[in-house]
Amino acid sequence: MKWLFPKRLIVSIVISASILGIAAQPAAADKPVRGCPNDFELVKVNRNDPVDVAVDLNGDGRVCEKPIPAFPPGSFNVIDNTSNSGD
């Protein structure tokens, strides 16, 4: 009988901590910031370009492009627009 009280106390503490942990969670995660780094330009996705379609991970129809001068003319570095702008 003497061990019954501490077991109840431990169980009560564990249950209370679990309830408080669940109640303390945020309601929803923040949405990612949409925008391009400073040296990129926000453009509409070209649905005929498989690279643009594959890069548009958030499906909003926008991607960030940056010309690559060292490659053949018309070459671009393309990233999704969920990147935070260059801070």
pLDDT in tens, 22-55: 555 555 555 555 788 888 999 999 888 888 889 9
Sheet holding 41-44, edge to edge: 41-44, 62-67, 76-80
* Residue 50 C-beta-side C-alpha neighbours within 13 Å: 0
Question: Can you give the pLDDT at residue 9?
Answer: 63
Question: Can you give the pLDDT at residue 64?
Answer: 92
Q: Is the entire prediction scored with pTM above 0.85? A: no
Question: Can you give the pLDDT at residue 53?
Answer: 87
Average confidence (pLDDT) over 58-83:
85
Residue 84 has pLDDT above 60, yes or no: no
Question: Can you give the pLDDT at residue 23?
Answer: 52
